[in-house]
Amino acid sequence: MRLVIVEDDRMLLENLRLLLSGEKSVSVVGAFSSGEEALQNLKDNPPEVILSDIGLPGMSGIEFIKRAKSEIPDIEIMAFTVFEDRETIFSALKAGASGYVLKGSTPRELIESLNTLYQGGAPMSPKIARAVIQEFQDEAASVQYLLTPKEKEVIKAIEKGFSYKEIGKNMCVSPHTVHAHIKKIYEKLQVKTRQEALIKARRQGII
């Protein structure tokens, strides 16, 4: 595979270049310390695979991945980073990365991941794969938490500290109706107290 490495830590960049150049299946055609520098050279010597850091100076790794994928749609890109939060993971994947490997991986794991990517796979470090699975499980679970517009209005009013009577007055309904809405909210969120309802509603992005 024709490989380009993008890493702002120059010592790590050189170590990666030496490591991967020693692989028979790899031909390192470029090693750059910024996304801007890499983009300037992509078309002159186009790679088949890019190994890119996320925390780059100047242009972020996410933006670099997006632009590299735009310039060479068929290219395979693997994020190689210390970031393991969901927001960064999914930002990289949405930008065009097909693999996501953490920097704590062993040299052999990195090489195997690159080969897997080159062969059409989607390699991910175990922690990253777990985060991706958890995200989809959370989305599936959130379906049962769907609240009606009225129920959302009630939970938002509760968050603001309004009493049942005040909520009823603002919504032009009786306190009994408000109580019925709250009972439904508790059932959908699978909670028993106001505090638990607010915590879960925030976690699910309802409020």
pLDDT at 135: 78
Could you say which DSSP state residue 73 is in? T
110 and 177 inside one domain: no
Which of 91, 108, 139 is where one domain is finished? 139
Per-residue model confidence (pLDDT) at position 177: 94
Domain count, the chain: 2
Q: Is 53 helix (H, G, I), strand (E, B) or coil?
A: coil
Residue with tokens 């059409």: 120
Q: 3-state secondary structure string, 189-200?
A: HCCCCHHHHHHH
- pLDDT for 93 equals 94
Axis-axis angle for helices 194-203, 175-189 (nearest 10): 60
Instruction: Indicate which CATH number applies to the domain containing 188.
Output: 1.10.10.10
pTM beyond cutoff 0.85: no
- Residue 156 belongs to domain spanning: 146-203
pLDDT of residue 120: 95
The packing angle between helices 61-71 and 86-95, to 10°, is 20
- One domain, residues 13 and 68: yes
The two structure tokens encoding residue 28: 């390192």
Let me know whether 28 and 120 are in one domain: yes
pLDDT tens-place values along the chain, 207 residues long: 999 999 999 999 999 999 999 999 999 999 999 999 999 999 888 999 999 999 999 999 999 999 999 999 999 999 999 999 988 999 999 999 999 999 999 999 999 999 999 999 999 999 999 988 887 777 655 645 578 889 999 999 999 999 999 999 999 999 899 999 999 999 888 888 999 899 888 877 788
**Of 77, 41, 82, 33, which is closest to residue 59 (Cα–Cα)?**
33
CATH code of the domain covering residue 57: 3.40.50.2300
Do 100 and 85 sit in the same domain of this protein? yes
